[in-house]
Amino acid sequence: MPHTRTDHRVDYGGAATLLLGLAPLLIVAEQGSGWGWTSPRTLALIGVGVAGLLGFVLVEGRMGDSALLPPRLFAGPLFTMSNAVNVVVGMGVFGGPGRRGTRGPSRRTPGPHVRHDTSRPTRCAESRPSCPAASTCVIWGFPTLIEGS
């Protein structure tokens, strides 16, 4: 099969709008609970993120086959549905069980769903003398080492 060279444009606009759309939403996902979900800072970042993603869709439509994510790919239902499922599964994986044990003031401080297991010896103090205040806790049934508790 003979090769035919086709010139493509670099999609700088798509890259910039994708960055403008995803970065604020990732910051909100990480900091939103600390700032408050209805705080002006959180709502402003959500607005910037949504505007950036809408801009990304518009820029990609204008770029055609030179786009980072060509819109013609979404014409097929298999591609569209499999990507929608990937987004939902990713939200479940990274927003659900992976956040377990982080309801306290910080990730190293237990929340109200943690009960201290006093029947087990603290292994941290034996292996790391610099950590004598660590204790073994049970979080959702799994023994977990919490430092500074």
pLDDT one-digit tens code per residue, 88-104: 888 777 764 445 444 55
pLDDT mean over 82-88: 90
Structure tokens at 85: 């499922």
Is the distance from CB of 132 to CB of 123 less than 8 angstroms? no
Task: Look at residue 106 in the predicted model and tell me its pLDDT.
Answer: 53
Tell me the H-state helices in the chain. 12-35, 40-63, 77-95, 123-127
Task: Look at residue 17 in the predicted model and tell me its pLDDT.
Answer: 96
| Least confident range of 78-87, 114-123, 138-147 | 114-123
pTM for this entry = 0.57
